[in-house]
Amino acid sequence: MNLNSDQNSTFRIENSVYDDPNNVHLQCTFLSKDAPYAGWIWYKPIFSAKPDFPNLIFEPVSSIPVDQISKFVVGIDATVNGAGRYNLILDIWFANQSKQISDELMVFLLRHGQGMDTREFMYDGYNTYSYFSFKSNSQREHIFAVEGSAIPRLVNVTAMLEHMARKGYSPAYFLNLELGDELFQGLGETIITQYNVTINAEFRAFRDSRSSMEALDAISCVDIIIKNTKKPLLDGNKGGIT
């Protein structure tokens, strides 16, 4: 489901259960044209260490060299009402000179029931974050977790990349950015009314393209699985939950 696209970048919403497709769950993404919001609802009664991840993706048409990025700021206005174990995160992907994925930068914007290994702190000009890094298989993970309970309105990715570089980690290319919820267990709703990405002088916002959406409202649901029997949730693209 595309939200906004031009010759330089595209936004799309993804109803992903990539890490836990077989657990009992109900998960729907939604996008409204009449009001400036997108988001998702979820119900996952059984805990799993492998999360689902509904998200909004920002992706340039081609990868951007990190050494050509002088400004990288993400603006967010989101509300999460939920219970259980979940995290609202920005998941940012980078590649090496060979265009292979090399680094994952995860910004924890909101944490519920998830501990964090705090080793040091950094300030991005807007908020204070704890930071630690570790190697996972062939890529390096960088974890930034905001201090406090409020979702940041602005995230300065440039400052985070500079902090990584001081540690000796300098990925070559920016690939994409995903704003989403890691869902381990529980139920809730996330509504996003603003999601802006500024890279250098280029400003992109998912809400800019609402007037060009073909459908007035779009809903996408994954199946709920009970006792290994799949039950469809939607009757057509605009049907209600059955």
pLDDT greater than 90 at residue 53: yes
Average of pLDDT values for 12-24? 77
Q: What is the mean pLDDT of the chain?
A: 81
Average of pLDDT values for 205-231? 46
Choose between 126 and 24: higher pLDDT: 126
* Domain-embedded: residue 241: no
Return the closest-CA partner of residue 222 out of 233, 213, 211: 233
Distance CA 13, CA 137 (A): 28
Choose between 69 and 224: higher pLDDT: 69
* Domain-embedded: residue 237: no
Average of pLDDT values for 218-240? 41
pLDDT of residue 115: 63
Distance CA 54, CA 51 (A): 10
Whether residue 35 contacts residue 194, with contact meaning beta carbons closer than 8 Å, is answered with no
pLDDT of residue 23: 74
Distance CA 169, CA 142 (A): 10
pLDDT greater than 60 at residue 242: no
Choose between 76 and 232: higher pLDDT: 76
Q: What six digits make up the tokens of 235?
A: 């009757």
pLDDT greater than 80 at residue 165: yes
The total number of structural domains in the chain stands at: 1
CATH number for position 178: 2.60.120.180
Residue with tokens 């049907």: 239
pLDDT tens by residue, 88-129: 999 999 999 999 999 999 999 999 876 666 679 999 999 999
* 192: containing domain: 2-231
pTM attached to this predicted model: 0.83
Give percent of the chain above pLDDT 90: 54
Choose between 119 and 15: higher pLDDT: 15
* Domain-embedded: residue 110: yes
pLDDT greater than 70 at residue 44: yes
3-class SS of residue 30? strand
Give percent of the chain above pLDDT 70: 76
pLDDT of residue 15: 85
Choose between 140 and 27: higher pLDDT: 140
pLDDT of residue 17: 79
* Domain-embedded: residue 238: no
* Domain-embedded: residue 236: no
pLDDT of residue 210: 41
* Domain-embedded: residue 25: yes
Q: Which helix (H) or strand (E) holds 161?
A: helix 157-166
Average of pLDDT values for 7-28? 75
